[in-house]
Structure 1
Amino acid sequence: MKSLKVVFLGTPEFAKNSLEAIYRSSHQVVGVVTVADKASGRGQKIHQSPVKEFAVAHQIPVFQPEKLRNPEFLEELKSLNADIFVVVAFRMMPKVLFEMPAMGTFNLHASLLPDYRGAAPINYAIINGEKKSGVTTFFINEKIDEGNILLQKEIDILPDENAGSLHDRLMELGGKLVVETLDRLAEGSIEEKPQPQVENPKNAYKIFKEDTRINWDLPLKTIHQFILGMSPYPSAFTTLKIGEGEKGLKIFGGRYEISNHGQPAGTLDISKNVFKIYTRDGIYYPLEIQLEGKKRMNVKDFLNGFKNFDEIKMA
């Protein structure tokens, strides 16, 4: 089988796993493109992306252009004579870039396309209570996540699985699929197929802060899936009124109980041994939480930190 020369484009841990899989395969990674180093955290220390860290550790040339249309960057990339570009969790690419290699550019997406095109496919699969998810490799074109499909692999979503767990499983599956895609492209055994035309495909739009607030008026099962789908990141939140002030409370998980309790939705019942929130059709019991300004903890430790529970209300 022919060994392909690959340029890899990606940034987070999800992408690093695929880069490592290619590096350990029969194919050759001749360059890596990732975001610029950023200052973050206390002390604003400079941090490299996981993809850059791996590339530097394995002596792979790294490119961090501010603009992907930069002529110098494009010339440098062209000089690598890559057969193909592989993209995992990167930004939108101009045509001049994704059309550069002779074999084209393919992307790994964490859903079974055409469903869940967009920035947050893993979160929305959990939020919507899907039973299955998967990964897709497809050739990039000028429309977001709409290119011809190369390969797909499907997995079951586990009961009460959160976005973090599904992310990690799809990350592993994705690395294997990327290498399989390269292998089969090298031997000419893939027949690319246009994505099926679906009248109303499920979307996975980018999630903003305002999208993460919990609506306690929704059905309890919907709330539970929403919290799981936002956990651990970007994390679902509600707001508590504590004394005269208000603080955000992130909820990472919990259990629920369908019941006809007669309490208004969003009512909080909290004491030394109890933390429950009433919804219109049951009770939600948070189990892992983080109060604004505090560290993440289990609900028992959270309750041990308070004395006057009468001061705590839902905002």
Structure 2
Amino acid sequence: MKKMSNPILFFGSGPVAKASLQFILQHFDVEAIVTKPATKGEMAELVGNLAVFAVQNATELDELMGKQQFQSKLGILVDFGVIVPKKVIDTFQLGVVNSHFSLLPKLRGADPITFAILEGHEKTGVSLMLIDEKMDTGKLITQKTLHIKPDATTPSLTRELVELSNSLLAEYLPLYVSGKVKPRNQPHPDRATYTRKLVKEDGIIDWNKPAEQIEREVRAFAGWPGSRTELAGKEVIVLGARVVEDSNKPGNVSIRDKQLLIGTGKDSLVVDHLKPAGKNEMTGAEFIRGYLQNIR
């Protein structure tokens, strides 16, 4: 595929941004990268001789754009984590295109991938959107649906969405730049939903919740913050679990057919894989043999 000739300025700082930039470098003429201080080194390593700038917040971004004379008429933003002021947006003749990993206006905000799993959505997707001064309210260039697999985790769903995002950027940015695609308003803004940034405390398992919700949390919090609890006096991270119809007191641990069962607010959870603090990942059966010999 031939590179789009118009130079672009890339904004991104997280792992999704890095994965996206690897693709963008192959298909677009990247003038420079704007990231955050914590990721400047790895971005610089990825892009070779291209200029990499680091900003911590909107004020520093505004100052950078005032000092540097960038030639790009278009910006691409993926997983940046810094609010882009309207003054900065207006410096780009064609605006700044954000690849947002949801079907806007659903799941606006900081963490649409995790919340798609947490909320039990059957589908999500990618929206290419021109950013404005509000949160994920800009006009759409395109969006495409992705069905969520029943066993999807945040890392596995992220990989699928990055691939979808890359294909949409390659196909639709040239069409937008050439004027063949006109941005449109988001449908049904009154039905917008919002996400938030996760905190470490989100990973503490509340066994009073229904087993179905806790199972979603296990998949959604895979990687970080992890679904944490205490079993047999050990802090563990639950890595894989499934729901079974079973009446048991919330938090009560039992063993049935060599399976590790924990009661919840509704039904029970079979813990298939877990990782005790300081130990390697193990199966529920291995944990039983090592730590729960006296439980029946």
**Is TM more than 0.5 here?**
yes
1:48 pairs with 2:48: no
Tell me how far 1:18 sits from its aligned partner.
Answer: 2.2
1:250 pairs with 2:237: yes
Tell me how far 1:302 sits from its aligned partner.
Answer: 3.3
Write the distance in 1 (CA, Å) between the matches of 2:132 and 2:222: 32
Change (3 A) 1:214 1:300: same
Write the distance in 2 (CA, Å) between the matches of 1:228 and 1:89: 21
State how many pairs are aligned: 292
Match of 2:272 in 1: 287
Structure 1 unaligned residues grouped into runs of 5+: 39-46, 311-315
Q: Percent same amino acid among aligned pairs?
A: 28
1:31 pairs with 2:50: no
Write the distance in 2 (CA, Å) between the matches of 1:34 and 1:269: 49
User: Greater relative contact order: 1 or 2 (C-alpha under 8 angstroms, separation 6 or more)?
Assistant: 1
Verify the 8 A CA contact 2:94 2:177 in the aligned structure 1.
Answer: no
Change (3 A) 1:309 1:62: farther
Write the distance in 2 (CA, Å) between the matches of 1:7 and 1:309: 61
- For each residue in 1:157-185, what CA deviation from the matched residue of structure 2 results, as whole angstroms up to 9, or x when unmatched? 11222221111100111112122232112
Tell me how far 1:270 sits from its aligned partner.
Answer: 5.2
Verify the 8 A CA contact 1:148 1:194 in the aligned structure 2.
Answer: yes
**1:98-109 correspondence to structure 2 within 5 Å:** 98-109=89-100
Q: 125, 129, 148: which is aligned to 1:134?
A: 125
Three-state SS of the structure 2 residue aligned to 1:3 is strand
TM-score normalised by L of structure 2? 0.88
Match of 2:150 in 1: 159
Q: 263, 277, 298: which is aligned to 2:262?
A: 277
TM-score normalised by L of structure 1? 0.83
Structure 2 unaligned residues grouped into runs of 5+: none
Verify the 8 A CA contact 2:232 2:291 in the aligned structure 1.
Answer: no
Tell me how far 1:107 sits from its aligned partner.
Answer: 0.6
- For each residue in 1:120-159, what CA deviation from the matched residue of structure 2 results, as whole angstroms up to 9, or x when unmatched? 1111111111111100111111111111111111111112
Three-state SS of the structure 2 residue aligned to 1:7 is strand
Paired letter, 1:48: G
How much is the aligned-residue C-alpha RMSD, in angstroms?
2.6
- For each residue in 1:276-305, what CA deviation from the matched residue of structure 2 results, as whole angstroms up to 9, or x when unmatched? 101243221112212234343333443444
Write the distance in 2 (CA, Å) between the matches of 1:302 and 1:22: 44
Name which of structure 1's ranges 207-216 and 114-123 shifts more when overlaid on structure 2.
Answer: 207-216
